[in-house]
A and B are shown apart, each in its own frame.
Chain A
Amino acid sequence: MSTRLGTGGSAIDRSRPVHFTFDGRRLAGLTGDTVASALLANGERVVGRSFKYHRPRGIVASGPEEPNALLGIGTGDRFEPNARATTTPLREGMALRSQNRWPSLAFDVGVVNAALSRFLPVGFYYKTFMWPRRFWESVYEPLIRQAAGLGRAPDAETRDPDRYEHFHLHVDVLVAGGGIAGLQSALAAGRAGAQVLLMEQSPHWGGRAQVDGVRIEGDPAAEWVARAVAELEAMPNVRLRLNATVVGAYDHGWMLAVEMPEPGPRERLWKIRARRTVMATGALERPLAFAGNDRPGVMLASAVRDNLMRYAVSPGDRTVLVTANDDGYRTAIALVEAGLSVPLVVDARPECNGPLPRRAREMGIRVAPGRAIAGVRWQRRITGVDVCLQAGEGSALEHVPCDAVAMAGGWSPAVHLWSHCGGRLRWDEATAAFRPDPQFPPTGADGQAAILPAGSADGHSRAVEVLASAHRAGVAGAAAAAHEGDAGQVVTAEEGAEAPALAVWRMPQSADHRLRAQTFLDFQNDVKLTDVELAAQEGYRSVEHAKRYTTLGMATDQGKLSNINGLAALSHTTGQAISAVGTTTFRPPYTPLTLATIAGQARGDLFQPVRRTPLHARHEALGAAWEPVGQWRRPYVYPKAGETVEDAVRREVLAVRSEVGILDATTLGKIIVKGPDAAQFLDMIYTGRPSTIAEGRCRYGLICNENGFLIDDGVVARLGPETWLCHTTTGGAERIHAHMEEWLQTEWWDWRVHVLNVTEQFGQIAVAGPLARNLLERLGGMDLSREALPFMHWTEGRLMDVPVRVFRISFSGELSFEIAAPAGRAGEIWDRLAQDATPYGTETMHVLRAEKGYIMIGDETDGTVIPQDLGLNWAIAKKKDDYIGKRGQMRLHMAGERWRLVGLLTPDGAVLPEGSLAVAQGTNANGQRRTQGRVTSAYWSPTLGRGIALGLVDRGPERMGETLSFLQPDGSEYRAEIVSPVFHDPEGERLNA
Chain B
Amino acid sequence: MLTLRCPCCGVLADETELAPGGTAHLRREGPEASDEAFEAYMFLRDNPRGVHFERWRHAFGCGKWFHAARCTVTNEVFGTYPAQTAAPPEEVLEAIRRRRPEWER
Contact indicator B30/A738 (Cβ below 8 Å): no
**Residues of chain A at interface, number, CB under 8 A:** 28
Contacts A251-B2, A252-B1, A443-B75; A749 near B33 (Cβ below 8 A): no
**Partner among A252, A273, A882, A891 whose Cβ is within 8 Å of the Cβ of B30:** A882
Q: Mark A878-894, 1 if CB is under 8 A from B, else 0.
A: 00011000111011000
Q: Is the CB of B65 within 8 A of A742?
A: yes
- In the assembled complex, which residues on chain B have CB atoms less than 8 Å from the CB atom of A250? 1
CA distance A942 to B61 in the complex (A): 48
> A707-B42, A742-B21 given as contacts; is B3 within 8 A of A445 (CB)?
yes
Q: Decide if B52 is an interface residue (CB 8 Å cutoff).
A: no
A140 within 8 A of B: no
Q: A741-B63, A749-B83 are in contact. Are A887 and B38 (CB under 8 A)?
A: yes
Is there an interface contact between A251 and B75, defined as CB atoms closer than 8 Å?
Answer: yes
The answer to the question of A146 belonging to the interface, with a C-beta cut-off of 8 Å to chain B, is: no
Residues of chain B within 8 A of A706, CB atoms compared: 28, 42
Contacts of B15 in A (CB 8 A): 251
Judge whether A738 and B59 touch: CB under 8 Å. Answer: yes
Asked whether B75 lies within 8 Å of A252 as measured between CB atoms, the reply is yes
The answer to the question of B45 belonging to the interface, with a C-beta cut-off of 8 Å to chain A, is no
- By the criterion CB–CB under 8 Å, are A881 and B71 in contact? no
Q: Is the CB of A887 within 8 A of B1?
A: no
B1-56 with Cβ < 8 A to chain A? 1-3, 14-15, 19, 21, 28-31, 33, 35, 38, 42, 55
Give the shortest distance, in Å, between B81 (CB) and chain A (any CB): 13
Are A886 and B65 neighbours in the complex by a CB distance under 8 Å?
no
Q: Does B94 contact A (CB under 8 A)?
A: no
Selected contact of A888 from candidates B1, B42, B57, B74, CB within 8 Å:
B42
Cα(A445)–Cα(B64), bound, Å = 21
Q: Is the CB of A887 within 8 A of B33?
A: yes
CB distance from A181 to the nearest CB of B (A): 27
Shortest CB distance B54–A (Å): 12
Instruction: State the CA gap A707–B29 with chains docked (Å).
Output: 11
Flag if A891 contacts B35 (CB, 8 Å).
yes
Q: How far is the CA of A745 from the CA of B3 in the complex (A)?
A: 22
Chain B 74-98 per-residue mask, 1 if CB under 8 angstroms from chain A, else 0? 1111000001100000000000000
Q: Known contacts A252-B2, A706-B42, A749-B84; is A447 also within 8 Å of B99 by CB?
A: yes
A747 within 8 A of B: yes
| Neighbour of B77 across the interface among A254, A445, A741, A747, CB < 8 A | A445
**A157 close to chain B: CB less than 8 A:** no
Per-residue B-contact encoding for A239-275, CB less than 8 Å = 1, 0 else: 0000000000011111000000000000000000100
Kindly list chain B residues whose C-beta atoms are within 8 Å of the C-beta of A749: 83-84
A745-B31 Cα distance, complex, nearest whole Å: 21
Query: Which A residues are in CB contact (< 8 Å) with B76?
Result: 443-447
Complexed CA–CA distance, A594 and B4 (Å): 30
Q: Are B55 and A746 interface neighbours, CB within 8 A? A: yes
Instruction: Please state if B29 and A887 are interface contacts (CB–CB under 8 Å).
Output: yes
Q: What residues on B are CB-neighbors of A741 within 8 Å?
A: 63, 65
How distant is the Cα of A446 from the Cα of B2 in the complex, in angstroms? 12
A747 lies within 8 A of B28 (CB): yes
A886 with B31: CB separation less than 8 A = yes
Q: List A contacts of B42 (CB < 8 A).
A: 706-707, 888
0/1 string, A860-890, CB within 8 A of B gives 1: 0000000000000000000001100011101
Beta-carbon contact of B30 and A742 below 8 Å? no
Residue of B nearest to A745 (CB): B65
CA distance A886 to B1 in the complex (A): 37
Are B84 and A273 in contact, CB atoms less than 8 angstroms apart? no
Per-position binary interface string of chain A over residues 738-774, scored 1 when its CB falls under 8 Å from any chain B CB and 0 otherwise: 1001100111010000000000000000000000000
Those of A617-670 within 8 Å (CB) of chain B: none
Closest to A446 in B: B76
Considering only CB atoms and an 8 Å cut-off, how many residues of chain B contact the other chain?
29
Cβ of A185 to closest chain B Cβ, rounded Å:
23
**Closest B-chain residue to A882, C-beta based?**
B30
Q: Is the CB of B55 within 8 A of A445?
A: no
Contact partner, B75, options A445, A742, A882, Cβ 8 Å: A445
**Given known A-B contacts A251-B2, A742-B65, A447 and B74 have beta carbons under 8 A apart:** yes
> In residues 286-303 of chain A, which contact B (Cβ within 8 Å)?
none
Residue-wise interface mask of A (674-685) relative to B, using a CB-CB cutoff of 8 A (1 in contact, 0 not): 000000000000
CB distance from A754 to the nearest CB of B (A): 12
Distance, CA A749 to CA B29, complexed state (A): 17
The smallest C-beta distance from A7 to any residue of chain B, in angstroms, reads 50
Given A746-B83, A749-B84: A254 and B1 interface contact (C-beta under 8 Å): yes
Q: Encode contact with B along A408-441: 1 for CB under 8 Å, 0 otherwise.
A: 0000000000000010000000000000000000
Query: Is there contact, CB below 8 Å, between A745 and B30?
Result: no
- With both beta carbons as reference points, the residue of chain B lying nearest to A883 in the complex is identified as B31
Among residues of B, the one whose C-beta sits closest to the C-beta of A743 is: B28
CA distance A887 to B76 in the complex (A): 37
What's the Cα separation between A890 and B35 when bound, in Å? 10
Given A251-B1, A742-B65, A745-B64, do A882 and B31 touch, yes or no (CB 8 Å)?
A: yes
CB contacts (< 8 Å) of A887 on chain B: these are 29-31, 33, 38
CB-CB under 8 A from A891, the residues of chain B are 35, 38
Closest CB in chain A relative to B29 CB, distance in Å: 6
| Residues of chain A contacted by B19 (CB below 8 angstroms) | 738
CB distance from A232 to the nearest CB of B (A): 28
CA distance A866 to B59 in the complex (A): 28
Provide the bound-state CA to CA distance between A749 and B21, in Å: 17
Residues of A within 8 A of B2 (CB): 251-252, 445
Specify the chain A residue showing the minimal Cβ separation from B59. Answer: A738
Contact A746 B65 (CB under 8 A): yes
Bound state CA distance, A891 and B15, in angstroms?
36
A745 in contact with B83 (CB, 8 Å): yes
Query: Which A residues are CB-close (under 8 A) to B29?
Result: 887
- The minimal Cβ–Cβ distance linking B51 to chain A, given in whole angstroms, is 12
What residue in chain B is nearest A750 (Cβ atoms)?
A: B84
* B38 and A443 form a contact (CB under 8 A): no
- CA of A887 to CA of B43 in the docked complex: distance in angstroms? 14
A254→B76 CA distance, assembly (Å): 14
Q: Is the CB of B3 within 8 A of A252?
A: yes
Q: Report chain A residues within 8 Å CB of B57.
A: 738, 742
Closest to A256 in B: B1
A509 to B47, CA, bound (A): 50
**Bound form: Cα–Cα A445–B77 in Å:** 5
Closest CB in chain B relative to A913 CB, distance in Å: 35
Question: From A886, which residue of chain B is reached at the shortest CB distance?
Answer: B31
In the bound complex, CA of A890 to CA of B38 (Å): 11
Contact B31 A447 (CB under 8 A): no
Q: How far is the CA of A745 from the CA of B83 in the complex (A)?
A: 7
- For residue A882, which residues in chain B have a CB less than 8 angstroms away from its CB? 30-31
State the Cβ distance, A408 to closest chain B Cβ, in Å: 39
CB neighbours (8 Å) of A445 from chain B are: 2-3, 75-77
B19 to chain A, nearest CB (A): 8
CA distance A666 to B27 in the complex (A): 38
Q: How far, in angstroms, from A422 to B72 measured CA to CA in the complex?
A: 13
Please give, as numbers and ranges, the residues of chain B lying within 8 Å of A444 by CB-CB distance: 76
Look across to chain B and name the residue whose beta carbon is closest to the beta carbon of A442: B74
| A881 and B31 form a contact (CB under 8 A) | yes
* Cα separation A551 to B15 with both chains bound (whole Å): 34
Of chain B, the residue at the smallest CB distance from A748 is B28
Complex CA distance for A742 and B57, rounded to whole angstroms: 9
Complex: how many Å from CA A253 to CA B55? 22
Bound Cα distance A164, B63 (Å): 32
When distances are taken between beta carbons in the complex, the residues of chain A under 8 Å from B71 are 447
Is B74 a contact partner of A443 (Cβ separation < 8 A)? yes
Output the residue of A445, A446, A749 with the most chain B CB within 10 A: A445
In Å, the complex CA distance between A742 and B56 comes to 10
Bound Cα distance from A253 to B38, whole angstroms: 40
- Shortest B38–chain A CB gap in Å is 6
The 5 closest A-B pairs by CB, nearest first: A447-B76, A749-B84, A254-B1, A745-B65, A252-B3
Q: Would you give 7 A-B contacts (Cβ < 8 Å), ordered by A?
A: A250-B1, A444-B76, A706-B42, A745-B65, A745-B83, A887-B29, A887-B38
**Known contacts A250-B1, A745-B84; 5 further A-B pairs (Cβ under 8 A):** A252-B3, A253-B3, A445-B2, A746-B21, A888-B38
